[in-house]
Structure 1
Amino acid sequence: MSSSANISKNQQAVIIGVGEITEKLENGQIGREPMRLIVSACENAMADTGANSEALKAAISAVYVINQMGWSYADLAGLTAENLGISDALCEESPVGGNMPTLYLTDAARQVQSGEQAMVIVAGGEATASLVAAGKLQQRPDWTPPQAGKPRPSKADFFHPEALKYGLNMPIDVYPLYDNAIRAEWGQSFAQAQQESGDIGAGMAAVAAANPNSWLGKPFSSEEISTPSEKNRLVVHPYTKWMIANPVVNQASACIVTTYEKAIALGVAEDKLVYIGSGVGGAEPRDILSRSGYTEAHAMSSVLKKTLEVNGMSEVPELVELYSCFPCVPKLARRALGLSETAVLSVTGGLTFFGAAVNNYMGHAIAAMVHAIRAGKGENGLLYGNGEFVTKHHAVVLYRQPVSKPVANLNLQDDLDANYGDVPEVLSAYSGPSVLETYSLWYSRDGQPERAALICRTPENKRHLAAVNDAATLQALISGEKEVIGASGVASAGDDGLNYWLAV
């Protein structure tokens, strides 16, 4: 594992309790605010331990809350602790990112093991379904008055000006760049790529259907997911609705971390304990145009392989949770790990079918993995989370049996930066021949191609972006009969300041 020195069983970091809540709303109902959902999840986690709740509250020395996006709080973690009756605890809200739950879990394990903290709650949640319901009812939720919290990143912090100019500024805009590029790189036809997306989704939907905390508690077939229909419209090529994460949920989760010694002293039963191994993190360049390509996430591959290595594993654990906001993420992660096409890639149900509480999906995955390990479905499990735009990556392993080595939370960033591939220069105005590297294409509500943003390479291997105003080129991008990635075209500068690309 992470160190040559062993530690005693008493020092080993364990999860002693997990709790979740999924609040489904009746028509005309506005549900609870995020803080209230998070508090309920924490209370459920305390109850799950079987220990005295007052003794637990007295022992908790840190409350970490995963970044919450839907409502503005000045100090969400502090408010959560206050409503739980926890005093004198370190209270902290994480940065943005779907990788944060596993990162904070691993840090909590490291902190209790070193004695820096005695007991830690890691929790998170969202009430976006309530906000949507309130909007439909044209009512303001009667929640904690919104307060100015810490500044959130702006789009300009994430994106190159050229990306913003062409409308590449949201996850739904960026992830297709990868899905379209990897289809061509792997030699898949459009139909084959869509079937793989459908198969992965169907596998996750089956898991979600058996998970009492999932938002959509029913199975979906691969064909239902991959085939456009009245209930499954095309959104952004190549995605249908059922291929995309669903953030409109009311969900929260929590887990409690301490040492084996403290757990036993509090009366937590041995069969409740799940041991925490080491974790690994790293990131791609935040600016999507500063990436060497879109056929691999270098940080993802390195993080997953190093996680197995640092945990002393020659094979992938029996249980896995691969982040699944869009199909390209589990597709890339499955290949990085060498998992088969039939491998079960989630213990939770996926961000489409279980639900995507924005940054906190992996908080629910932690809970699901704990339940799976406790139930004997596997001796250990790998949790992998992805944040932002295929940007941030973190993974950790959980165990049924004690882990004799100290927990480490490694950051691979220095190595990743030192060994990153060549990044093309980005041109603003460009006229001349170029080759299509990848693209995003948006559909109208009636399923017709509406507009596209292309990333192209010039003969000098520089990069430029372009729009499309030619119906034949738009049709070629979606036809599926012939792969367009790698096709030649001609770019010209328009009067509106955009480049336009025409296939030849």
Structure 2
Amino acid sequence: MRIDPRTPVVVGVGQFTERIDDPDYRGMSAVDLATAAAQAALADTGADATAVAGAVDTVYGLRQFEISGPMPATLGKSNNYPRSVMRRLGGDPRRVVLEPVGGQGPQKLVTEAGDAIVAGNADVVMIMGSEPGSTAKYFANRDDKPDFTEHVDGQLEDRGHQIYSYIDEYTVQHGLTGAPVQYGLLENARRARLGLGVAQYRQAMAELFAPMSKVAAKNPFSSSPVERSVEEIETVTDENRMICDPYPRLLVARDTVNQGAAIVLTSVESARKLGVPEEKWVFLHGHSDLVEQPLLDRVDLGASPAAAHAAHEALRVAGLGVADIATFDLYSCFPFPVFVICEALGLSGDDPRGHTLTGGLPYFGGPGNSYSVHGIAETVAQMRDRPGRFGFVGANGGIMSKYSVGIYSTEPAQWRTSRSAELTARVAELPTVRVTKTPEGAGSVETYSVRYDWPVRTGIIVGRLDADGSRFMATTDDADLVGLMSDGDPLGAKISVTPTENGNRAVLR
């Protein structure tokens, strides 16, 4: 097969993890972590690493938590994260980009970089991400805090954090200020649709995730390389405390990590010029990038049509079926995104191919927006070891808001386009639910979470008004209702809701 010289190909991947119990733990910065990963990716090309670094003309950087919103970076930060890394590598790219918030970003950027290479707008591209959450925690109460402030001159296309594309004043006012509570609403809505009890569903989540911990236990880049049993994951203890219903700690992405990962993509022509051996080349056969409806508009909060379309579209573009896939790495911040793709593709919870190559976000680590760089890196490594096979990467962002898929193989393939924009438009046209922002009167609980991470245990509710079926949000610290939400099953419970200056409040009726 003759390959067009402009065809994009992944030629290098690298990962780095610093664990707090490592004897040489340093408490590295975001720039240091990304630099270590990028060095590994350059070395992985099998070519002259210095020459490859010098040839990089475009860099995409993924945001750390510390620059993913309006909060300050408490230990300081670079004003130009991608260029800070490239300066350490001896590179001076023509263009650098800082991507908005979203865990779909790594796979979305691989596709974007591929388009740029095909169009002749880039030849050698690096995608990098890192998360220094462990460093931030380690120095939080110490007097010897480092200052990671750095000023680097040069072009930067900062696309902004765009965090408010996922949340707004109304949802924040009603407690949706973190991923566990946001996904808790989705998880309990899915439980309602399936008609499962609280204990049944928690066991199903634990059964889905326990095998991931076995993968993490064997991965040298894992932040928590410990195998966990189903019983250990589902049983609430002091160590495995409840975070937000329905999640005890071992079902929640582990974001207190120090991890970095990087990918190098080139055109086939540039790979040859740089001397990258062909056994290093991995092609992107299928891809998709879809956007879901806004959270409260969705008819079924326990589903994600956009993610399902993304999974099927990437397979269509690749010309493959589910049976053709040898490996999966599904974004696993919580069970919900994994369940969604398993349902969409007809995968069982115990599929012998597994659902992760890293070990999953609660066990391998959840380095913020950059997790799926690790998933892609593991997939590329696996594909090189299994020439001609196909690896599926599913990357999720926001509140199940955006989903990107990539399908990788050493088998040569020309660059293909997807119908992602058309499918996103189709999702946007799906029916919606009317929202009443200041409800009053009788209603019922549609879905819920409980915030155990607040000073006062608080129920977070998405409800429906009896009068017109419209949807609303409310919080509650009513003892009877919080008790039912914590220790019983409040789905469908009859409540009364009242608007206040500080948001809507609900009580049992």
TM-score (norm 1): 0.90
- Determine helix, strand or coil for the equivalent of 2:10: strand
Q: Counterpart of 2:362?
A: 352
Q: Counterpart of 1:199?
A: 207
Which residue type is aligned with residue 42 of structure 1? Answer: A
Distance of 1:107 and 1:156 partners within structure 2: 23
Q: Counterpart of 1:20?
A: 15
**Contact 2:132/2:258 (<8 A) preserved:** yes
Structure 1 position 30, deviation (Å): 4.5
Q: Counterpart of 2:318?
A: 311
Question: Which of 44, 51, 54 is the equivalent residue of 1:48?
Answer: 44
The 1:43–1:283 alpha-carbon spacing in structure 2 relative to 1, beyond 3 Å, is: same
The 1:57–1:30 alpha-carbon spacing in structure 2 relative to 1, beyond 3 Å, is: closer
Distance of 1:110 and 1:469 partners within structure 2: 51
Please tell me whether residue 328 in structure 1 is matched to residue 336 in structure 2.
yes
Q: Counterpart of 1:143?
A: 148
The 1:130–1:405 alpha-carbon spacing in structure 2 relative to 1, beyond 3 Å, is: closer
Please tell me whether residue 189 in structure 1 is matched to residue 175 in structure 2.
no
Distance of 2:163 and 2:392 partners within structure 1: 32
Question: Which of 118, 122, 125 is the equivalent residue of 1:120?
Answer: 125
Identity of matched residues, %: 27
Q: Counterpart of 1:371?
A: 381
Deviation string for 1:448-478 (max 9, x for gaps)?
Answer: x821011111131111222334333222223
Q: Which runs of 5+ in 2 are unaligned?
A: 67-72
Structure 1 position 131, deviation (Å): 1.2
Which residue type is aligned with residue 369 of structure 1? Answer: T
Q: Which runs of 5+ in 1 are unaligned?
A: 1-5
Q: Counterpart of 1:438?
A: 447
Deviation string for 1:150-201 (max 9, x for gaps)?
Answer: 5955866543433222212221221100111101101222222111211222
Q: Counterpart of 2:69?
A: none
Distance of 1:49 and 1:400 partners within structure 2: 14
The 1:9–1:208 alpha-carbon spacing in structure 2 relative to 1, beyond 3 Å, is: farther
Question: Which of 390, 401, 404 is the equivalent residue of 2:411?
Answer: 401
Question: Which of 256, 263, 278 is the equivalent residue of 1:270?
Answer: 278
Deviates most, 123-132 or 399-408: 399-408
The 1:419–1:151 alpha-carbon spacing in structure 2 relative to 1, beyond 3 Å, is: closer
Deviation string for 1:39-66 (max 9, x for gaps)?
Answer: 1111111111110123212322111111
The 1:197–1:333 alpha-carbon spacing in structure 2 relative to 1, beyond 3 Å, is: same
Deviates most, 262-271 or 185-194: 262-271
Distance of 1:66 and 1:156 partners within structure 2: 17
Deviation above 6 Å: which 4+ runs of structure 1? 146-149
Question: In the TM superposition, what are the counterparts of 1:378-417 in structure 2 within 5 Å?
Answer: 379-406=389-416, 408=418, 410-412=420-422, 414-417=424-427
Q: Counterpart of 1:3?
A: none
The 1:147–1:131 alpha-carbon spacing in structure 2 relative to 1, beyond 3 Å, is: farther
The 1:455–1:301 alpha-carbon spacing in structure 2 relative to 1, beyond 3 Å, is: same
Deviates most, 226-235 or 409-418: 409-418
Which residue type is aligned with residue 37 of structure 1? Answer: L
Q: Counterpart of 1:297?
A: 304
Distance of 1:377 and 1:183 partners within structure 2: 40
Which residue type is aligned with residue 24 of structure 1? Answer: R
Aligned CA RMSD, in angstroms, stands at: 2.6
Structure 1 position 122, deviation (Å): 0.8
Distance of 1:408 and 1:499 partners within structure 2: 43
TM-score (norm 2): 0.90
**Contact 2:388/2:411 (<8 A) preserved:** no
Question: Which of 14, 27, 30 is the equivalent residue of 1:34?
Answer: 30
Counting matched residue pairs gives 492
Deviation string for 1:15-59 (max 9, x for gaps)?
Answer: 111111101235896422111111111111111111012321232
Deviates most, 492-501 or 267-276: 492-501
Please tell me whether residue 172 in structure 1 is matched to residue 194 in structure 2.
no
Which residue type is aligned with residue 53 of structure 2? Answer: K
Structure 1 position 430, deviation (Å): 0.9
Question: Which of 480, 486, 490 is the equivalent residue of 2:492?
Answer: 486
Distance of 2:163 and 2:381 partners within structure 1: 38
- Determine helix, strand or coil for the equivalent of 2:15: strand
- Determine helix, strand or coil for the equivalent of 1:137: coil
Structure 1 position 249, deviation (Å): 0.8
Structure 1 position 415, deviation (Å): 2.2
- Determine helix, strand or coil for the equivalent of 1:208: helix
